Structure 1
Amino acid sequence: IITYSDKAEEIESYQKIAPTVVIPYGTFTNVEDEIRGFGELMNKSEEAEAWLKTYDERIEAARAKVKEVIKPEETFSILEVSDKSYYGYGDNFGRGGQAVYRALQLAPLEITKKELMGDTQWKEISREVVGDYAGDHIFLTVGENNKNYQGDSIWQSLPAVKNNQVYELEEDRYWYFDPIAIQAQAEEFADMIVERAQQNRK
């Protein structure tokens, strides 16, 4: 059993069922460390390295796709819409952060680097200042009640919205940031970006 729990009574109850390993939340901050960590834990380091080799090849292919349609100076933001505000995310807190900023190596805004890419990986953003956190492209996480998000006049004034460069993400699909999720997200994001670039050229 693998758990992030630090509660002794929970761990003891798990240990009665099977050998238990505690891995605190946030132990791994990138794909390579996580895969190698589990490879070592399960005595499968060779399999871990083989997986990483395939991962690198697939990510490089996704990155190459994006480079064909995106200029290096174009910026990307990861936002989530709620009833009263937005949330901004960094490169290690789900919503596609690792896939966007690490795997695909897409450029964040300076404010994103400063405020969302250290120990703090998310923050609430009022609707009035969302423009400060909105890059040329926006990955926007939405729930069931705000799909096809139209927003208010401030949202509609954002360059990413005007240029049809907002990519909606369903929350229950993109919350995750385990290695398999990151690989799939990077490939899906690359396809989204390429498809949207082709649409916008027409």
Structure 2
Amino acid sequence: MKKITLKGLFFGALLSSVMLFAGCSASNSTTESTQTKTDALSHKVSIPEHPKRIIGSYLEDYLVSLDVKPVAQWTVGKGSIQHYLQDDLADIPTINFDLPYEDVLKFEPDLLLIESNSMVEGGKYAEYSKIAPTYVVKNGDKVTWQEKLEDIASVLGKTKKADQVIDTYEELVTTTKEQLKDKISGKSAAVLWVTNNSAFMVAENRSSGNLLYDQLGFEVPNLTKEISKSASSDWSPVSLEKLATLDADYLILVNSDKSAAMFEDQIWQNIPAVKAGNLWEFGPETSWLYNGPIAYTQMIEDIQEKLEK
């Protein structure tokens, strides 16, 4: 029988310890590291370094601009999707805008990006957090799309890409203002959305209003100023009678109701921009109802096309 010495036992135990440590190290090296980020509601969220199954309802514009594809995309009911993003999202299944718990669970996300504080009211944040790390991005009336993009990019480790997107966009704004200054300077514009034979006007500091007035330098029509004083969302209802006072040089129409009776009304037909042939009509499949770097870029391209004719 082979003699076992104390020295042999010592080296055997040492070798086992080394192998155990090496095994633990190898196991830890395959475990994805995380980062802790504080979101818009002051939650400290442990986020995987490279999330692969992201849901960001109504944040798809930002994700696509960062070269990220979500596992599900925003919809209202079954038919209202962001058509202008479908070159990138055509194969992505939909999830309703209010993120039903069971539907979220079905997609097995490893990160939930929440577009607004209201989406997690009533205990919904705690429920979502049981499924995946849940991060509420910067939001609110005074938060620009650039700030929102930077916040999302910091979560996804895409800050350099976000900088590129912002720089490219700001260069586009500068170039557009310079090339079209003779057709923008001193000219006013308004944006209307018509749906179900009702008209809604965009507020001067929201969505496409921010683009037209703050970024490109169009004048704000008096009716837009009036409506903006009490605006609580991007779009505010405006009566046909009120539209009779609209003094805009250009009228941008997002038309979701081509057969609306209001278009046959003399009041509509006598709106100065309509009468002068300065009505720019776009369908709901375009980006004019949405926000984000891709949406704003496409709006500018639409304006360029109209003014360069």
TM-score by length of 2: 0.54
2:113 is matched with 2
Consecutive unaligned residues in structure 1, runs of 5 or more:
196-202
Contact 1:62 1:187 survives alignment (8 Å): no
Report the secondary structure of 2:161's partner residue.
helix
1:153 counterpart letter in structure 2 = Q
| Equivalent of 1:36 in 150, 162, 173 | 150
Larger RCO: 1 or 2 (CA < 8 Å, sep 6+):
1
Counterparts in 2 of 1:56 and 1:6: CA distance versus 1, 3 Å: same
1:116 aligns with 2:228: yes
Alignment map for 1:20-59 (pairs within 5 Å):
20-23=134-137, 26=140, 29-59=143-173
Deviations 1:127-171 (A, max 9, x none): 122122341110011115438x84311111122112110011212
Structure-1 separation of matches of 2:125 and 2:222? 42
1:142 aligns with 2:263: no
Give the 4+ runs in structure 1 shifted more than 4 A.
Answer: none
Counterparts in 2 of 1:26 and 1:20: CA distance versus 1, 3 Å: same
Contact 1:85 1:124 survives alignment (8 Å): yes
Report the secondary structure of 2:224's partner residue.
helix
| Equivalent of 1:16 in 113, 118, 130 | 130
2:218 is matched with 106
What value does the CA root-mean-square deviation take over the aligned residues?
Answer: 2.7
Q: CA deviation at 1:188?
A: 1.8
Moved more, 164-173 or 15-24: 15-24
Report the secondary structure of 1:132's partner residue.
coil
Aligned residues: 192
1:199 is matched with none
1:142 counterpart letter in structure 2 = N
2:216 counterpart letter in structure 1 = L
2:272 is matched with 159
Contact 2:150 2:162 survives alignment (8 Å): yes
Counterparts in 2 of 1:71 and 1:175: CA distance versus 1, 3 Å: closer
Q: CA deviation at 1:63?
A: 2.4
Alignment map for 1:177-192 (pairs within 5 Å):
177-192=291-306
Structure-1 separation of matches of 2:196 and 2:305? 29
Contact 1:93 1:177 survives alignment (8 Å): no
1:193 counterpart letter in structure 2 = L
Q: CA deviation at 1:27?
A: 6.1
Contact 2:138 2:151 survives alignment (8 Å): no
1:77 is matched with 190
Moved more, 163-172 or 59-68: 59-68
Matched residues, percent identical?
22
Report the secondary structure of 2:244's partner residue.
helix
| Equivalent of 1:64 in 164, 174, 178 | 178
Report the secondary structure of 1:48's partner residue.
helix
Q: CA deviation at 1:9?
A: 4.5
Structure-2 separation of matches of 1:43 and 1:118? 38
Contact 2:201 2:235 survives alignment (8 Å): yes
TM-score by length of 1: 0.79
Contact 1:29 1:92 survives alignment (8 Å): no
Consecutive unaligned residues in structure 2, runs of 5 or more:
1-111
Structure-1 separation of matches of 2:282 and 2:227? 22
In our comparison, the structure showing a higher alpha carbon Rg is 2
